[in-house]
Structure 1
Amino acid sequence: MLARLVTGYQVRDDRQTPHAVLHTGPHRVLRRYGPPASAADRPPVLLVPPLAVSARCYDLGPEQSVVAELAAMGRLPYVVDFGDVSRADAHLGFADYFDDIVPEAIARTLADSGADRLDLVGWSLGGTISLLTAAAHPDLPIRSITAVGTPLDYDAIPPYPAVKRALPPGGTAVVTETLRALGGIPAPLVRLGYRATAWERELRKPAYIVAHADDADALARMQVIDRFQSTMPGYPGRAAVQMWQNFVYRNELAGGVVDFGDRRVDLTALVQPVQLFGSHRDAIASWRAAHHGVEVLTGAAQVHFETVEASHLGLIVGAAATAETWPRVAEFLAALDAADGDSDNR
Structure 2
Amino acid sequence: MNSRVRRRLGRRSWSMPGSAEFEIIHRRAGVSVRYYAPAGAPEAGPVPRTPVVLIPPLAADIQIYDRRNQHSLVAYLSARGFDLYMIDWGWPTRADDRRHLSDYFAALLPEMLNRVRFHSGRQRLALHGWRLGGLLALCYAAVSPADDLAGLVLLDTCIDYAACPAAGRVRGRLRQRAGRWRRLTGLRASHLPVAALHVPSWLQLIARQAVLGPAQPPDDDALRSRAYPGGVVADVIDHLWTDNTLAAGRLPMAGPGAGLAGVRVPILFIADADHPVCSPVCGERLAAMVGSDRVACEWTHGDPKHAGCGALMARRSWTRVADWLLDPGADQ
TM-score (norm 2): 0.81
2:163 to 146, 156, 159: 156
TM-superposed deviation, 1:187: 1.8
Q: Kindly tell me: are residues 292 and 337 of structure 1, through their superposed partners in 2, closer, same or farther at Cα, counting changes over 3 Å?
A: closer
Distance in 1 of aligned mates of 2:63 and 2:283: 23
Matched, 1:59 2:55: no
1:264 to 250, 257, 262: 257
Matched, 1:306 2:298: yes
Q: How does 1:1-346 map to 2 (within 5 A)?
A: 14-34=17-37, 42-138=49-145, 141-157=148-164, 158-159=168-169, 160-166=171-177, 167-168=180-181, 169-170=183-184, 173=187, 180-201=194-215, 223=219, 225=220, 227-230=221-224, 232-258=225-251, 260-262=253-255, 264-297=257-290, 299-310=291-302, 311-317=307-313, 321-323=314-316, 325-336=317-328
Q: Kindly tell me: are residues 88 and 140 of structure 1, through their superposed partners in 2, closer, same or farther at Cα, counting changes over 3 Å?
A: farther
Distance in 1 of aligned mates of 2:141 and 2:189: 30
- Aligned-residue sequence identity (percent) comes to 25
Distance in 1 of aligned mates of 2:300 and 2:33: 29
Distance in 2 of aligned mates of 1:185 and 1:172: 23
TM-superposed deviation, 1:37: 8.8
Contact 2:190/2:231, CA 8 A, preserved across alignment: no
Structure 1: which amino acid aligns with 2:85? Y
Distance in 2 of aligned mates of 1:337 and 1:248: 31
Contact 1:16/1:62, CA 8 A, preserved across alignment: no
1:113-157 CA distance string (max 9 Å, x none): 222311000000100000100111126611111100000000012
TM-superposed deviation, 1:173: 3.1
Q: Which residue of 1 aligns with 2:8?
A: none
Contact 1:257/1:266, CA 8 A, preserved across alignment: yes
C-alpha RMSD over aligned residues: 2.7
Structure 1: which amino acid aligns with 2:114? A
Contact 1:134/1:140, CA 8 A, preserved across alignment: no
Contact 1:285/1:312, CA 8 A, preserved across alignment: no
Structure 2 stretches lacking a partner, 5+ long? 1-15
For the residue of structure 1 that corresponds to 2:328, the secondary structure is: helix
Structure 2: which amino acid aligns with 1:57? I
Distance in 1 of aligned mates of 2:161 and 2:186: 16
Task: Please tell me whether Structure 1 or Structure 2 has the larger radius of gyration of its CA atoms.
Answer: 1
Q: Kindly tell me: are residues 68 and 24 of structure 1, through their superposed partners in 2, closer, same or farther at Cα, counting changes over 3 Å?
A: same
Stretch deviating more after TM superposition (271-280 or 303-312): 303-312
Distance in 1 of aligned mates of 2:176 and 2:315: 40
Contact 1:279/1:309, CA 8 A, preserved across alignment: yes
TM-score (norm 1): 0.78
Distance in 2 of aligned mates of 1:274 and 1:326: 15
Stretch deviating more after TM superposition (90-99 or 65-74): 65-74
Contact 2:125/2:150, CA 8 A, preserved across alignment: yes
Size of the alignment, in residue pairs? 301
Contact 2:38/2:79, CA 8 A, preserved across alignment: no
Contact 2:39/2:78, CA 8 A, preserved across alignment: no
